[in-house]
């Protein structure tokens, strides 16, 4: 077999990767769920560990040859347990939704009732939304935020929990910009005998860095992805009380998945080591400070921020407020100008999910590049300039060039130097 490089074997594909590297280097990435993994994390992700099958868990595998894989997985487990103070950890979920599916399998039968935050209010598809398997195979009931202040309505959560007696109570979000009161959710779950599952996918890096309250002391089970604020490889993880370890492990494998992705597990171990450093704590604090600065600067330009601001890494902006815009139109114009974000539904959105009323902005990636409050104010200026004239392609080209110039001064982790 040839030992030629990717460039030699498949120049077409190599060109696409190089183009994506340039895109990630030259644009301001504001997608709240994205980040730049470090070079060390990427190195482990691209390692020969991808060649190995290892169904089972350390010390109990179905195939031989696990001398090093067992040690890799145990390292990731130990580091996650220490970082988050968890009693038990499963590092094998392929990503967030498979992690959540394993939780359903561990505790529910098809048709059971579950309670989670509705998608348009900031929840996640896998918390029982109708188009997800979790909404089709379970009787999903949803709570939301209050119309008047955009905050989660805990009275509604309690009322629905008492009325429906769910087997699982989910808390967690993909587009909610405030702190969740994990303890209050735990108390509601206890009252109705539900299992409390916290999905901290968006904020696990902030939790690790001490910039967001940890759900671990409160929840029976905590799920997360590993590639968002945590800045690891694309993957998932489940933390739980020791009493649930067996059920969770059996649900992940053989319940939902086959062999673990060992290269990802190794890269996760690296990310967890990085996340335990004081520098990562400073990073997490700055992510939140940057999100606040961005929200403030946009508010000052009369943009309507859902719930009025942010306490975490993201904000949702209603771009239809006082402006002839839609979420998709705004996101497309911004992308053309070098500001990459996602269209997002807002609570009680009158528009359709594919072209909703909002955009979601997040600061994990720009903060990984070392950008701080002054750059956030500059980003708000660019957003405003582009959205004032969203079909002006010449303006988009000018802004894109200004952005590429700024980005050159903030090299992104993990990308080759150019
Ligand atoms: N796709 C992720 C996000 O952007 O929030 C959630 O799965």
With contact defined as beta carbons under 8 Å apart, do 33 and 222 qualify? no
Beta pairing partners, 239: 89, 222
23 is catalytic: no
- Annotate 346-414 with DSSP letters as a single string: -TT-SS-TTS-SEEEEE-HHHHHTT--HHHHHHHHHHHHHHHHSTT-HHHHHHHHHHHHHHHHTSPPTT
96 lines ligand 1 (CB under 6 A): yes
CA angle, 34 as apex, 251 and 361 as ends, to 5°? 120
Is 94 known to be catalytic? Answer: no
User: Whose CA is closest to atom 3 on ligand 1?
Assistant: 33
Q: Which atom of ligand 1 is nearest to the CA of 97?
A: 7
Low-confidence residues of the chain: pLDDT under 70: 418
- Token look-up 């529910």 returns 108
3-state secondary structure 286-300: HHHHHHHHHHHHHHH
- How far apart are the CA of 124 and the centre of ligand 1, in A? 8
Q: Which residue in the list 79, 167, 228, 292 is annotated as catalytic?
A: 228
**Residue where the block lists tokens 């402006």:** 323
Report pLDDT for 418. 64
Interval between CA 233 and ligand 1 midpoint (Å) = 15
pLDDT in tens, 239-255: 999 999 999 999 999 99
Q: How far is the CA of 8 from the centre of ligand 1 (A)?
A: 35
Which atom number of ligand 1 is nearest to the Cα of residue 360?
4
Query: Does the active-site annotation cover 273?
Result: no
CB proximity list for 283: less than 8 A, separation 6 or greater: 205, 209, 367, 368
C-beta 100 within 6 A of ligand 1: no
Nearest to 219 by CA among 251, 179, 172: 172
242: DSSP letter: G
The DSSP H or E segment spanning 191 is: helix 182-192
pLDDT of residue 2: 72
Q: Are the C-beta atoms of residues 235 and 264 closer than 8 Å to each other?
A: yes
Tell me the CA–centroid distance for residue 92 and ligand 1, in Å: 19
Please provide the distance, in angstroms rounded to a whole number, between the alpha carbons at the two ends of the chain: 31
Give the position, in ligand 1's atom list, of the atom nearest the Cα of 342: 4
199 is catalytic: yes
Whether 33 lines ligand 1, by a CB cut-off of 6 Å, is yes
Atom index in ligand 1 nearest the CA of residue 32 equals 4
Cβ contact 102:93 at 8 Å: yes
Residue 53 designated active-site: yes
Q: What is the reported pTM? A: 0.97
Q: Which residue CA neighbors atom 2 of ligand 1 most closely?
A: 33
For the chain, the C-alpha Rg in angstroms (whole number) is 22
- Closest-CA residue, ligand 1 atom 5, reads 174
Point out which residues pair with 225 in neighbouring strands: 236
Nearest-angstrom CA–CA distance, 295 and 300: 9
* CA of 72 relative to ligand 1 center, distance in Å: 27
Q: Domains (ranges, CATH) in the chain?
A: 43-275 (3.40.640.10), 286-408 (3.90.1150.10)
Q: How many CB atoms lie within 10 A of CB 391?
A: 9
pLDDT at 417: 76
pLDDT digits (tens, 9 = 90+) for 79-114: 999 999 999 999 999 999 999 999 999 999 999 999
At 416 the pLDDT is: 86
Give yes or no for a contact between 129 and 122, defined as CB atoms under 8 angstroms apart: no
* Residue whose CB lies within 8 A of the most ligand 1 atoms, among 93, 172, 174, 225, for a mutation test: 174
Q: Determine the distance separating the centroid of ligand 1 and the alpha carbon of 35, expressed in angstroms.
A: 12
101-114 burial, b at 16+ Cβ within 10 Å, e below that, comes to bbbbbbbbeeeebb
Residue % of the chain over a pLDDT of 70: 100
Tell me which residue has its CA closest to atom 1 in ligand 1. 33
Mutation probe of ligand 1 site: the residue of 202, 227, 340 with most atoms within 8 A of C-beta: 202
- Asked about 36 being catalytic, the answer comes back as no
């Amino acid at each position: 077999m040839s030992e030629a490089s990717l460039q030699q074997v498949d120049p077409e594909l190599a060109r696409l990767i190089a183009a994506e590297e340039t895109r990630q280097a030259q644009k301001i990435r504001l997608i709240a769920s994205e980040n730049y993994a470090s070079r060390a994390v990427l190195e482990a992700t691209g390692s020969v560990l991808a060649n190995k099958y290892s169904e089972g868990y350390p010390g109990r595998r179905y195939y031989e040859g696990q001398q090093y894989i067992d040690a890799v997985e145990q390292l990731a487990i130990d580091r996650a347990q220490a970082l988050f103070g968890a009693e038990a950890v499963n590092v094998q979920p392929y990503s967030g939704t498979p992690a959540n599916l394993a939780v359903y399998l561990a505790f529910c039968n098809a048709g059971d009732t579950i309670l989670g935050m509705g998608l348009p209010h900031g929840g996640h598809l896998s918390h029982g939304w109708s188009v997800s398997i979790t909404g089709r195979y379970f009787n999903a009931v949803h709570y939301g935020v209050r119309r008047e202040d955009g905050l989660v309505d805990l009275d509604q959560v309690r009322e629905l929990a008492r009325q429906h007696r769910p087997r699982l109570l989910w808390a967690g979000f993909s587009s909610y910009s405030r702190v969740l009161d994990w303890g209050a959710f735990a108390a509601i779950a206890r009252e109705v005998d539900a299992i409390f599952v916290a999905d901290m996918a968006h904020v696990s890096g902030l939790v690790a860095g001490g910039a967001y309250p940890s759900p671990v002391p409160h929840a029976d089970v905590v799920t997360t992805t590993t590639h968002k604020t945590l800045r690891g490889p694309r993957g998932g993880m489940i933390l739980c009380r020791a009493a649930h370890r067996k059920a969770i492990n059996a649900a992940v494998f053989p319940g939902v998945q086959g062999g673990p992705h060992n290269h990802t597990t190794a890269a996760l171990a690296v990310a967890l080591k990085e996340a335990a450093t004081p520098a990562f704590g400073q990073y997490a604090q700055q992510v939140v400070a940057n999100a606040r600065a961005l929200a403030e600067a946009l508010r000052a330009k009369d943009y309507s921020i859902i719930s009025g601001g942010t306490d975490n890494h993201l904000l949702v902006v209603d771009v239809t407020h006082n402006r002839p815009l839609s979420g998709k139109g705004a996101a497309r114009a911004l992308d053309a100008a070098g500001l990459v974000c996602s269209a997002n539904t807002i609570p009680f959105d009158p528009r359709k999910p594919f072209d909703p009323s909002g955009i979601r902005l997040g600061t994990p990636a720009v903060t990984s590049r070392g950008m701080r409050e002054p750059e956030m104010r500059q980003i708000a200026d660019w957003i405003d300039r582009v959205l004032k004239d969203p079909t002006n392609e010449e303006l988009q080209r000018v802004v894109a060039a200004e952005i590429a110039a700024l980005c050159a001064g903030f090299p992104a982790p993990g990308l080759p130097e150019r």
